[in-house]
């Protein structure tokens, strides 16, 4: 609905704000503080340097090679890993981590932590049992499960039992055993490429 124009003010009248002399108006921010632009530029530079420092020293970009972590991580996905996460917090069951392959430290693997030090772990026809309880692994789609079994072990001190989410094709601790803590060097955090896969790694 269109409203009629306000005719209370004719051309000889003006709103009160128009009658304030220009000298009474506050000066623009740049006039109030000539150094404000320099401060803004300084803060911008500090933020940029801090961002570069964080990415360079705290996070590391890596590329996924292989399909053992499908469906979350695809071959050639690029993601950031946090290199310092485990300096301040413990490795937890379910974390997706990057580590040096025990049989060839020149290679790196990315897998999910399944067993922690001291856990009693066994696999019965594809079902993982830890400390007497079957695990509900919703990150493993039904189509990616297998029927392999693994005799019960107690995960040794300072080691972790790793498995890929695509169980039927993953080379993991079922083959090369638990992974020593010293070989784990990062926690998968965020996929940034390709954009269709972008998001937090869970």
Total number of domains in the chain = 1
Domain membership of residue 185 as a residue range? 63-200
The pTM assigned to this predicted structure is 0.74
- Cβ(161)–Cβ(139) under 8 Å? no
Residue in the block written with tokens 């933020």 = 47
User: What residues are annotated to the active site?
Assistant: 68, 111
Q: 138-195: per-residue pLDDT in tens?
A: 999 999 999 999 999 999 999 999 999 999 999 999 999 999 999 999 999 999 999 9
Ordered per-residue pLDDT tens for the chain, 202 residues? 433 333 333 333 333 333 444 444 555 544 456 578 888 888 888 887 777 766 666 889 999 999 999 999 999 999 999 999 999 999 999 999 999 999 999 999 999 999 999 999 999 999 999 999 999 999 999 999 999 999 999 999 999 999 999 999 999 999 999 999 999 999 999 999 999 999 999 9
What CATH number does the domain containing 189 carry?
2.10.109.10
The rounded distance, in Å, linking the Cα atoms of 187 and 11 is: 70
Nearest-5° angle of CA 190, CA 192, CA 197?
A: 90
> What is the SS3 assignment for 75?
coil
- Beta bridge partners of residue 100, listed in sequence order: 108
**Residue 8 within any structural domain of the chain:** no
**Residue 50 within any structural domain of the chain:** no
Q: What is the DSSP string of 82-148?
A: ESSHHHHS---TT-EEEEEETTEEEEEEEEEEEE-TT-EEEEETTEEEETTEE---TTS-GGG----
Residue in the block written with tokens 């950031």 = 80
Check whether the bond before 36 is cis (ω within 30° of 0): no
User: Around 30, how many Cα atoms within 13 Å sit in the side-chain half-sphere?
Assistant: 2
- Cβ(192)–Cβ(60) under 8 Å? no
Buried b (16+ CB within 10 A) or exposed e, 158-185: ebbbbbbbbbeebebbbeebbbeeebbe
**Residue 120 within any structural domain of the chain:** yes
């Amino acid at each position: 609905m269109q409203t009629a124009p306000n005719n209370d003010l004719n051309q000889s009248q003006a709103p009160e704000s128009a009658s304030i002399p220009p000298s009474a108006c506050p000066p623009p921010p740049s006039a109030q503080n000539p150094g404000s632009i320099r401060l803004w530029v300084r803060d911008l530079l500090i933020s940029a340097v801090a961002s570069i420092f964080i990415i360079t020293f705290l996070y590391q970009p890596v590329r996924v090679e292989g399909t053992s972590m499908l469906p979350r991580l695809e071959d050639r996905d690029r993601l950031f890993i946090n290199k310092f996460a485990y300096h301040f917090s413990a490795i937890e069951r379910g974390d997706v981590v990057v580590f040096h392959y025990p049989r060839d430290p020149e290679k790196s693997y990315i897998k999910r932590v399944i067993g922690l030090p001291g856990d009693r772990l066994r696999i019965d026809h594809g079902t993982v049992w830890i400390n007497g309880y079957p695990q509900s692994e919703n990150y493993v789609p039904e189509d990616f499960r297998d029927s392999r079994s693994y005799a019960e072990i107690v995960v040794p001190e300072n080691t972790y039992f790793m498995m890929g989410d695509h169980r039927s094709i993953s080379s993991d601790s079922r083959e090369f055993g638990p992974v020593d803590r010293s070989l784990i060097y990062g926690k998968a955090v965020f996929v940034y490429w390709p954009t269709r896969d972008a998001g937090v790694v869970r």
